Amino acid sequence: MTIYSASDFATALLGTSVIGLSFAGLLVYPDLLLADVIDEDETIVGARREGMYFGINGFMVRFGVTLQGLTTSAVLLTSGYVSSPGAEVVQPASAVLGIRAMITLVPFLASMLAIWGLQHYPLHSGKLQAVRVKTKKLRVT
């Protein structure tokens, strides 16, 4: 069995399902964090600035798509991928390994970077509860 591969369809389906369920949580989590950041900002500034934060969030999402394209082209170029429209081409082993790394290793490294960032996220536990209490008081007044 080669690295980065499933030996049969059932293994691939199982692996994809586990990763897919985890990825669904990662897609929702940034919006939850953004709401907390907006609430904390309101307690500091005294005004709601959701538009600014969602604008920056939108930019970061678009920037991520740009990075995906750059990563794809870099991996395909450096791995020796052969592009030949309309013809069946046998890809070299390096291209196959590059594509496998791109769909496994790159997302894994990005996930590790995200986990590292979340470990340094300052709004949790007592601080988050204090922000929520303060926000609630601002809305009552």
pLDDT digit string, tens, across residues 37-92: 999 999 999 899 999 999 999 999 999 999 999 999 999 999 999 988 777 888 99
25 domain-assigned: yes
Measured distance CA(138)–CA(141) in Å, rounded: 5
Place of tokens 């959701």: 50
- Domain assignment present for residue 43? The answer is yes
Q: Is residue 117 part of a domain?
A: yes
pTM metric for this prediction: 0.70
* 136 domain-assigned: yes
84 is written with which tokens?
Answer: 């030949």
- Residue 98: Cβ within 10 Å count: 21
The domain in which residue 33 lies consists of 9-140
Residue 141 pLDDT class (50, 70, 90 cuts): low
Report the number of distinct structural domains present in the chain: 1
